[in-house]
Structure 1
Amino acid sequence: MSDRTQAFTGLTDDYRAFRPGYPGQTLETLRGHVREGATDAWPEPWLLLDVGAGTGISTRALRAAFGPGPRVVGVEPGHDMRDTAEAGADGADGVEYVDARAEGVPFPDSGAALVLTAQALHWFDRPAFYAESVRLLAPGGTLAVLNNNRDLAGSAFIDEHESFLEWYSPGYDRHYRTYDLVGELSAVRGLTGAEEHSLPWARALTPDEYLGMAMSSSRTAAAARKIGEDRTRAELRAIADRHFPDGRVEVPYTTQLVLARRV
């Protein structure tokens, strides 16, 4: 696909239905970091930006974590992603969505208490996004990178799932999100105090839920284009059945939260 921002076109219903949320403990850590940096000079209400918001999973999580006070805005250039997020809003979420890329967010300088990206940084021009975040953040504000990473070590199930994608999804490598985020943020002028928090956990799914989650992936979609959707579904279902004959699929995750503060 020539426009990477539209990579999830046609996948968003499964994405919204089957992708995991984020642990409450991790969101509490994020909220605490933002509040610790607060100053009287911050614009009211606080502006919380969720960049690469997708179908709004992390945007809604911000509203739940911070309560009704701040302004919460999801920034998402993918048309299907943003439409699904907006269609799923029930009015009580109190969140907004705007059409923009991570490297050019249409908000003024030094106005945001938080710039978050969840499950999306690998799609960005990272240096350009970091510079844009520094521009957006008020002094004391937080840049946060949040990922639910499948635990690649110690699970034969995950190994077979990842191997399937490496075999059939052109260019895929299971280590695509393995980079030194603390080191990268520490090197960004205008940020300080980069730190990482990790939380291992496991998600229990039915085989159908696992299949729905797998089919929400742009990489699985690439495999389906190569070998056909029916074969893709059959092979993924067989992986689940081999490892979980009792019908309870367990997906091990480590949630990674990397934080830095605007000086």
Structure 2
Amino acid sequence: MATDVSTQSAGYEHYQTLGEHYDNERPGYPISAVHKIAAQALPLRQFSRRVVDAGCGTGIFTRMLADALDRSFEVIGLEPSSTMIERAIEVTKTIRPIRFVQSPAEQLPFSDRSVGLITAAGAAQLFDRMRFYVEAHRVLVDNGVLAILQNKRRHEGGFFRSFELFLETFVPGYRTGTYADAQGGHSVANFDAELASDNRFSTVMVQKWDWPRTFTTQSFEAFASSTIQLKMARAAHGNETIINELRSILSRHCDACGAIDVTYSTELTTAVRTTQ
């Protein structure tokens, strides 16, 4: 059982100071994707009905998943950031308990073959994933499931295209299609290719859902303020420059009521622990 929690990715540290807007403005996930993951957990035998959400942040996805599962499942949220864990405990009000534990994804605090399902929603890009996959394999039961969710901006045109160009201009090292990573920079995150090349897992599948969301100019600014990218941009160019530029883009794309319509694509990658 891994108990040393001293090793944490560089990326998580940004979230120690990003909790203010995180819970209110993060885009969430399509309920159909949540139900798809829950359906994969249902066949698990009674003794392996422990579900772990790694990198749970303030518990946005953890709560959605708990609501989609019956009471026979134990749901645990893991998060290395103390401020995020505090927020998760504060805002979680469900008819069933969720346990939140401060822990990195790379050193899961569970015994071997004791977890039926591990999820990571909007967080795995920040993990040292080679270590995470080793740990996931260790704690998952035979035929246990690893499920990674990632929201991607549809940036073919419109506001999200302008926002991507803004990020490429002002965020050091950022390019469209990359994510903040465990080393404190930006890189691609090909979860399906990584898992397909790992013989500890099999039956790798990718499913996608496109869905719309409407922001106000104020709510998008609050959302952007909860991201690592805007924090990096502010550090590099100053708060006034970044906020003024962001507001300029928002004003060019919003309608007369201050609304901005965008499209997200949620990508679900699942893999099954091989029986050994």
Task: Confirm or deny: 8 A CA contact 1:6 1:79 kept in the other structure.
Answer: no
1:258 to 240, 265, 269: 269
Once the two structures are TM-superposed, the CA of residue 173 in structure 1 deviates from its matched residue by 2.0
* Residues 4-46 of structure 1: CA deviation (Å, up to 9, x unaligned): 321112211201110011111111111122224x23xx526x1
Once the two structures are TM-superposed, the CA of residue 137 in structure 1 deviates from its matched residue by 0.7
* Residues 26-73 of structure 1: CA deviation (Å, up to 9, x unaligned): 11111122224x23xx526x1110001111111111111113331111
The aligned residue for residue 235 of structure 1 is: 245
Question: In structure 2, what is the Cα distance between the partners aligned to 1:18 and 1:68?
Answer: 29
- Determine if the alignment matches structure 1 residue 213 to structure 2 residue 223: yes
2:206 to 196, 205, 218: 196
The aligned residue for residue 131 of structure 1 is: 134
Once the two structures are TM-superposed, the CA of residue 117 in structure 1 deviates from its matched residue by 0.6
Task: Confirm or deny: 8 A CA contact 2:116 2:141 kept in the other structure.
Answer: yes
Once the two structures are TM-superposed, the CA of residue 183 in structure 1 deviates from its matched residue by 2.2
1:4 to 2, 11, 36: 11
- Determine if the alignment matches structure 1 residue 222 to structure 2 residue 232: yes
Q: 1:135 to 1:213 in 2, by over 3 A?
A: same
Question: In structure 1, what is the Cα distance between the partners aligned to 2:252 and 2:237?
Answer: 21
The aligned residue for residue 107 of structure 2 is: 104
Question: In structure 1, what is the Cα distance between the partners aligned to 2:72 and 2:24?
Answer: 27
TM-score, length basis structure 1: 0.92
RMSD after superposition: 1.7
Once the two structures are TM-superposed, the CA of residue 133 in structure 1 deviates from its matched residue by 0.6
The aligned residue for residue 248 of structure 1 is: 259
* Residues 143-202 of structure 1: CA deviation (Å, up to 9, x unaligned): 0000111113x2231121112112112122221154432221122222110000001111
Q: 1:157 to 1:180 in 2, by over 3 A?
A: same
Alignment of 1:80-99 (within 5 A): 80-90=83-93, 92=95, 94-99=97-102
Q: 1:5 to 1:87 in 2, by over 3 A?
A: same
The aligned residue for residue 171 of structure 1 is: 173
Once the two structures are TM-superposed, the CA of residue 231 in structure 1 deviates from its matched residue by 2.9
Q: How many residues align?
A: 257
Once the two structures are TM-superposed, the CA of residue 91 in structure 1 deviates from its matched residue by 5.9
Question: In structure 2, what is the Cα distance between the partners aligned to 1:220 and 1:63?
Answer: 31
Task: Confirm or deny: 8 A CA contact 2:63 2:94 kept in the other structure.
Answer: no
State the secondary structure of the residue aligned to 2:42: helix
1:150 to 136, 153, 158: 153
Question: In structure 1, what is the Cα distance between the partners aligned to 2:138 and 2:100?
Answer: 20
User: Identity across aligned pairs (percent)?
Assistant: 30
Q: 1:93 to 1:18 in 2, by over 3 A?
A: farther
